[in-house]
Structure 1
Amino acid sequence: MPNRMIACLLALFLPFSASAAEFEAGKDYLTIRPAQPTNDPARIEVVEMFWYGCPHCFQLEPLIEEWAAKLPDDVNFLRVPAVLSPRWELLAKAWYTAELLGVTDRIHKALFDEIHVKRKRINSEPALRSFFVQQGVKGEDFDNTFNSFGVAAKVNRARQLTRNYGIRGVPSMIVEGRYRTSATEAGSHERMLEVVDYLVEQARKQR
């Protein structure tokens, strides 16, 4: 076989082998032991652990939005506020308050912008209440939900997941309750999402 033809054939196969070896366990992503249960066993679960006070989470948000918009139907993408210390609980409660009130679309980006673009200090319940009211939420609805058992239970669950996933910093991404990656492991936010796509494909094959 002519050398030129051999070179062409090798060129066809090289990208696939390079892709298969591109991401390594223990380097680009870590294995969670024991694996954690997922919310919907019928779909591949991807969780973003974030905190509104984190500038890296704010920078990741446009990339996450674009990435999530293209996800196939068999992938279930969830956001979970990390609770690494008592100081993080306030903004975790903000996420779940918005979720239970059905105003996540209105609150999520606006709260990131309030903290990182407008440089407002949202570090107390009154400050958070004022922000929600500015976004069109009734003060009474905020009070009843923010201090509800439902929000408290969800924050406790988020705290437990933060611990069980082995989260040390945010943003971090969890796939199928079994794998964890972040920009620290992957090298950048963009590459982190590539690692997540790779892990989703691995989970799909394992199913």
Structure 2
Amino acid sequence: MKFGFRTLATLAFAGFLSMGVSAAPQIDKDYREIKPAQSTEPGAKVEVIEFFWYGCPHCFDLEPTLKKWLARLPADVTFKRVPAIFRQSWVAGAQTYYTLETLGELDRLHGKVFDAIHVERQAFNDIGTIAAWMGKNGVDGKKFEETAKSFAVAGKVQRAQQMSAAYQLTGVPALVVDGKYIALGSTFDGMIANLDALIDRARTERAASGKK
């Protein structure tokens, strides 16, 4: 049987579609735009920020998927976390994050704080309680509490609160790409797939604008 060029092209296109090639992310379905876009750190790397709250069960559930993604973090992407603050009760979580960062204990204890809250059902509502838990986990409780109440940590907490508003967050976890896009998804795997697609978009936009 012979096929004309048009027929072959049609069959090839149908085969292309049958391979399950993903469409471009759709606004308000796969991602949301941040308007106005927020400034990013200087440099050529695409910036990804995870806004989270230690008390958020969805943030806790996202951690394993996010950890796998971080294991393959592209060389041209920089990643950081920012503790979101929507209300006063979230401030202690932000203080905890930045205190661990200041003391050089963040990598060791970030996941353990999540576990303490969501697995062990610890009530981390105030710095005194959190400091007592830290004392049982290899951190000087007094030093933790003093650092949590320091001017340096207070400044970072204030900045996190400002960013939570400026980035127009409606909930957490929120994965933000280059200060412009928030990845959405009905599943965590879907959210990560949209995150990757938005990173590709940011690369293209940076190349077009010559941004460094």
TM-score, normalised to structure 2's length? 0.89
Q: Which residue of 2 aligns with 1:201?
A: 200
Q: Which residue of 2 aligns with 1:135?
A: 137
Cα distance between partner residues in 2 of 1:131 and 1:114: 9
Is 1:145–2:135 an aligned residue pair?
no
Q: Report the Cα offset of residue 17 of structure 1.
A: 9.2
Q: Which residue of 2 aligns with 1:123?
A: 125
- Go from structure 1 to structure 2 and tell me whether the alpha carbon gap of 1:17 and 1:65 turns closer, same or farther (over 3 Å shift): closer
Cα distance between partner residues in 2 of 1:133 and 1:71: 33
SS in 2 for 1:57: helix
Cα distance between partner residues in 2 of 1:15 and 1:33: 36
User: Map of 1:1-207 to 2, 5 A cutoff?
Assistant: 2=3, 5-6=8-9, 9-11=12-14, 13-14=16-17, 18-21=21-24, 23-182=25-184, 186-207=185-206
Cα distance between partner residues in 2 of 1:40 and 1:98: 25
Cα distance between partner residues in 2 of 1:165 and 1:16: 36
Cα distance between partner residues in 2 of 1:119 and 1:16: 45
* Aligned residues between the structures: 203
Q: Is the 8 A contact 1:107 1:132 kept in 2?
A: no
Q: Structure 1: 5+ residue runs without aligned partners?
A: none
Q: Report the Cα offset of residue 145 of structure 1.
A: 1.1
Q: Is the 8 A contact 1:115 1:121 kept in 2?
A: yes
Q: Is the 8 A contact 2:128 2:145 kept in 1?
A: no
Q: Is the 8 A contact 2:176 2:183 kept in 1?
A: yes
Q: Report the Cα offset of residue 5 of structure 1.
A: 4.6
Aligned Cα root-mean-square deviation (Å): 2.0
Cα distance between partner residues in 2 of 1:28 and 1:121: 34
Structure number with the higher helix fraction is 1
Q: Is the 8 A contact 1:176 1:203 kept in 2?
A: yes
Cα distance between partner residues in 1 of 2:78 and 2:14: 35
Cα distance between partner residues in 2 of 1:161 and 1:176: 14
Q: Is the 8 A contact 1:106 1:135 kept in 2?
A: no
Q: Report the Cα offset of residue 8 of structure 1.
A: 5.1
SS in 2 for 1:19: coil
SS in 1 for 2:22: helix
- Amino acid of the residue matched to residue 46 of structure 1? V
SS in 2 for 1:20: coil
Answer with 128-137 or 6-15: which moved more. Answer: 6-15
Q: Structure 2: 5+ residue runs without aligned partners?
A: 207-212
Residue-by-residue CA offset, 1:9-64 (whole Å, 9 max, x unaligned): 2245437995233x111221111111111124321000111000001100000000
Cα distance between partner residues in 1 of 2:156 and 2:85: 11
Q: Report the Cα offset of residue 200 of structure 1.
A: 0.1
Q: Report the Cα offset of residue 143 of structure 1.
A: 2.5
Q: Is the 8 A contact 2:40 2:178 kept in 1?
A: yes
Give structure 1 regions of 4+ aligned residues with deviation exceeding 3 angstroms.
3-8, 15-18
TM-score, normalised to structure 1's length? 0.91
SS in 2 for 1:26: coil
